[in-house]
Amino acid sequence: MKAITYTNYGPPDVLQIEEVAKPSPKDNEVLIKTRATTVTSGDWRVRSLNVPVGFGFISRLIFGVFKPRQPILGTELAGEIESVGKNVKKFKAGDQVFAFSGAAMGCYAEYKCMPKNGAVSLKPANLSYGEAAAISFGGTTALDFFKRGKLQSGEKVLINGASGGVGTAAVQLAKHFGAEVTGVCSTTNLELVKSLGANHVIDYTKEDFTDNGMSYDIIVDTAGTAPFSRIKNSLKEGGRLLLVLGGLPDMLQIPWVLMTSNKKIIAGPANERAEDLQFLAKLAELGKFKPVIDRQYPFEQIAEAHSYVDTGRKKGNVVIKLKQNNET
């Protein structure tokens, strides 16, 4: 089968297309024929090892000290089950599914095995393969941070970086949970963020949200420009800062902030739970959650897709489509 591989950390041109062995499912696994995958900010970070301040060494320990341990990137896919292991009853050949391999990666390939009890779910019928492939990364991150931040209906939530992969999911989920949502983004993305349901939008190129007298129960930072020192006066008493993007110095402050105020910083990697995928699939089916697709690229042009994602300016998600046998 064809896969996109890399053998060294670096710019997008470290990615190459090559023939690798097609996997076969173990007894508890399903084999998925990939129809679409994505390029996420996570793929960019693991490819380049451009990671938040203080995480360079630990990232090498996790992903490979001198070269990548897992040569195939990609955390999300959607496709069709081709075959199942002998202990698998809940899926069958022909099922249309989407899956999240998370930190194990390996989705930039024509076929991928996933454990039957892993993050695999039937594809919502109202979503395309491309849309379904893009449910997981932003959706599970936003959902996990809102769970850890104990978001309550009626709370005021500000999302800094509301137009990215995590931000577009966070706006929709916060609205679903009954929050009053303010999205912060650049001028070109104001309409997009409003269309996702944000009650208010702030253009960060024209207005500093920490300087307008408003305060919030929860501030989500996906852009890395809203550390506690900057936003502490914009958090209400009992408020929580959800640092989706934070460096080691931000995390070292967590105990001090907890001891000296009644505000809280929540940070660290998002948990990857199969049940969160099922929840997002259900919401998507009900029309209450829809991944935003910015651009789509063919599999063979994945390096170009990476170059675009590297800009840090994508709107929602970038999808990679795989050609099927009968397609030209």
Least spacing, CB of residue 89 vs ligand NAP, in Å: 32
Closer by beta carbon to ligand NAP, 218 or else 245 = 245
Least spacing, CB of residue 274 vs ligand NAP, in Å: 17
Closer by beta carbon to ligand NAP, 22 or else 45 = 45
Taking CB positions, which residue lies at the least distance from ligand NAP? 164
Burial of 249 per CB tally in 10 Å (0-12, 13-18, 19+)? exposed
Closer by beta carbon to ligand NAP, 5 or else 163 = 163
Residues that bind ligand NAP (CB under 6 A): 40-42, 45, 138, 141, 160-161, 163-167, 184-186, 189, 204, 222-223, 225, 244-245, 269-270, 312-314
Least spacing, CB of residue 82 vs ligand NAP, in Å: 29
Least spacing, CB of residue 99 vs ligand NAP, in Å: 17
Closer by beta carbon to ligand NAP, 33 or else 306 = 306
- CB half-sphere exposure, 130, CA atoms < 13 A: 16
Least spacing, CB of residue 112 vs ligand NAP, in Å: 20
Closer by beta carbon to ligand NAP, 84 or else 292 = 292
Closer by beta carbon to ligand NAP, 271 or else 278 = 271
Instruction: Tokens 């919401």: give the residue.
Output: 283
For residue 254, the tally of other CB atoms under 10 A from its CB is 18
Task: Give the orientation angle of helix 165-176 with respect to helix 136-148, to 10 degrees.
Answer: 50
Closer by beta carbon to ligand NAP, 285 or else 310 = 310
Least spacing, CB of residue 195 vs ligand NAP, in Å: 14
Least spacing, CB of residue 23 vs ligand NAP, in Å: 26
